[in-house]
Structure 1
Amino acid sequence: MGKSKVLVVGGTGYIGKRIVKASLEEGHETYVLQRPEIGLDIDKLQILLSFKKQGARLVQASFSDHRSLVDAVKKVDVVICTMSGVHFRSHNLLVQLKLVEAIKEAGNVKRFLPSEFGMDPARMGNAIEPGRVTFDEKMKVRKAIEEANIPFTYVSANCFAGYFVGNLSQMCTLLPPATDNVTVYGDGNVKVVFVDEDDVARYTIKTIDDPRTLNKTVYLRPPDNILSQRQLFEKWEKLSGKQLRKSTLSEHDLLSSMKGLDYAQQVGVGHFYHIFYEGCLTNFEIGEDGEEASQLYPDVNYTRMDDYLKIFL
């Protein structure tokens, strides 16, 4: 069996560009959606042209032109959507419903991977407002996929290292704190899963031709990267030779801090609550409807967080 042809929607984005790279490296004929709405965004255009140099094919289509989407989808076997669901960037999850309609009409797609790549929305039914909007919208997309009988794989990638590791899981920064003062969420012992974004892409591409992942959720839980916040601090202290000054933030104080924040910040605080206080990434066993990526693909030499942190020294 040959390798599937892949269409990446959202290929110029944070995870999308890594998915395109991983798809090309794995030898897939790779197509990237080029939307006319790109306008004068020179950065996105340059990214698209760099893909073309690497061997990807650019396909013109627009979410406002159903026929163009159908034509794009007909060129491939697998569609991967990586549109952003992060509120402080852009938030376009429900636009995927148009893509679902195009895939349904085209009728040729063997696998659709919608934009997920975070917490498993199926386990977030009790999430607090306003952050639950992310999970509710992902579930609407899932419902549309399953009602259309489109074969799928959902990827739950947990915490991207870029957002949660370099900053030692501190809010409102992406860098280690310059003052060595850090906030500990609760007792700091809740286990969290951190994954390098390039590894997210590698694992994702591995799933697309794998019968074991068809119509399942794939959880990325590399065992050496299942760490508590305190364990993350210890790694940084060992690497940097600095002692962090830790102050504890109670669950009550975290939730109280949401008052007065803008909408995007409130969403973020809500997600931090579920991750670092409830332990939503690790407080369940993966059942028959799921698989764990590092067990399926032991050949992927994933990045450990000690190595990831070295770039910040």
Structure 2
Amino acid sequence: MAKGKVLVVGGTGYIGRRLVEASLRQGHETFVLQRPEICFDIDKIQTLLALKKKGARVVEGSFSDHRSLVQAVKMADVVICPMSGLHFRTHNLLLQLKLVEAIKEAGNIKRFLPSEFGMDLARMKDHLKPGNVTVHEKMEVRNAIEDANIPFTYISANCLAGYFVGSLSQLGTLVPPKDNLTIYGDGNVKVVYVDDDDVATYTIKTIDDPRTLNKTLYIRPPENILSQRELIGIWEKLIGKELNKKSISGQELLDMKGDVDYVTQVIICRVYHIFIDGCLTNFKVAEDEEASKLYPEVNYKRMDEFLKIYIPN
């Protein structure tokens, strides 16, 4: 069966560039949308040029130019939009509504994967304020997709390792603490950690797979379902040192919201649901909805291997 042509909108971003590379590796003709606003961002331009060298095709388009979006969409069979929903990076999730309109008009898209790549939104209706703004916006995009009868796949990638594992899930850092760390609750709630490149690999495998059409795909590699204490234990074994641990209760975590900025409040809400509520693992997933079961050929990265790169020289 011929490989579908893929358009990545947001292909120079953290997950986006990984999706472009995974798409190329898996043999898809791959397009990256070049939006006017990145032309003054040297890092994004260099990323775009690097992807072009690897075989990606660059197509110009803008959310402020509907016709250009339609033309870009018509070049592909599949559209993936990994736009950031993280408030400390960029937060433009509702721009996807314009992309939905372009896909609807073009009429040729066989699959749309919107910006999800985190928790399963359908299970997050009680998400705490102000963290619930991301949930509401992503659900608005979902509703628009389904109202337009656009074929879709939603990717629930859980905790991206680059954000949650390198830091041992600490607030305010993306690298492991040297001496002291915080444990949320008793630290025994199970969490799903996924290597960022594996997220891209699994995502691209879904796009021509009829088993994932109009479904949510959960990326839950079984050996990466770990508690925070287990994750910390892996790190301590790697460095041969035990760190000083301080536990805070769920209420103490929420009380911190009164003393921090808006962005940190959003992050605290997310941490609460993951490490206190256990929102990533407090429900069952069928085998035909879980990535490592659907694609056993993928040798996913375990978290002990992921953490090795952080070991001090």
The TM-score range, normalised by the shorter chain, is over 0.9
1:203 matched residue in structure 2: 202
2:308 matched residue in structure 1: 310
User: Post-superposition shift, 1:103?
Assistant: 0.1
1:299 matched residue in structure 2: 297
2:245 matched residue in structure 1: 246
Q: Distance in 1 between matches of 2:62 and 2:232?
A: 45
2:162 matched residue in structure 1: 162
Q: Distance in 1 between matches of 2:42 and 2:256?
A: 38
AA paired with 2:238? L
Q: Distance in 2 between matches of 1:168 and 1:37?
A: 34
- Once the two structures are superposed, residues 259-298 of structure 1 have per-residue CA deviations (whole angstroms, 9 ceiling, x without a partner) of 021111100000000000000000011259x700000000
SS at match of 2:2: coil
1:44 matched residue in structure 2: 44
1:137 matched residue in structure 2: 137
1:27 matched residue in structure 2: 27
User: Post-superposition shift, 1:244?
Assistant: 1.6
Q: Distance in 1 between matches of 2:46 and 2:236?
A: 39
2:126 matched residue in structure 1: 126
Q: How does 1:86-101 map to 2 (within 5 A)?
A: 86-101=86-101
User: Post-superposition shift, 1:39?
Assistant: 3.1
1:56 matched residue in structure 2: 56
1:82 matched residue in structure 2: 82
- Once the two structures are superposed, residues 220-269 of structure 1 have per-residue CA deviations (whole angstroms, 9 ceiling, x without a partner) of 00000000001001111111100121111011110000002111110000
User: Post-superposition shift, 1:105?
Assistant: 0.4
Residues matched between the structures, number: 311
AA paired with 1:45? I
2:261 matched residue in structure 1: 262
1:115 matched residue in structure 2: 115
AA paired with 1:182? L
1:217 matched residue in structure 2: 216
User: Post-superposition shift, 1:88?
Assistant: 0.4
SS at match of 1:295: helix
AA paired with 2:252? D
AA paired with 1:163? Y
Q: Distance in 2 between matches of 1:127 and 1:54?
A: 40
SS at match of 2:59: strand
AA paired with 1:117? F
TM-score by length of 2: 0.98
Q: Distance in 2 between matches of 1:217 and 1:277?
A: 24
How large is the Cα RMSD of the aligned pairs? 1.0
Q: How does 1:145-160 map to 2 (within 5 A)?
A: 145-160=145-160
TM-score by length of 1: 0.98
AA paired with 2:29? E
After TM superposition, the structure 1 stretch with the greater mean CA deviation from structure 2, 191-200 or 231-240, is: 231-240
User: Post-superposition shift, 1:45?
Assistant: 1.1
SS at match of 2:46: helix
Q: Distance in 2 between matches of 1:18 and 1:102?
A: 24
User: Post-superposition shift, 1:47?
Assistant: 1.1
1:13 matched residue in structure 2: 13
AA paired with 2:197? D
SS at match of 2:257: coil
SS at match of 1:258: helix
- 1:182 paired with 2:193, answer no
AA paired with 2:165? V
Q: Distance in 2 between matches of 1:24 and 1:311?
A: 25
Q: Which runs of 4+ in 1 moved over 6 A?
A: none
Q: Distance in 2 between matches of 1:212 and 1:312?
A: 37
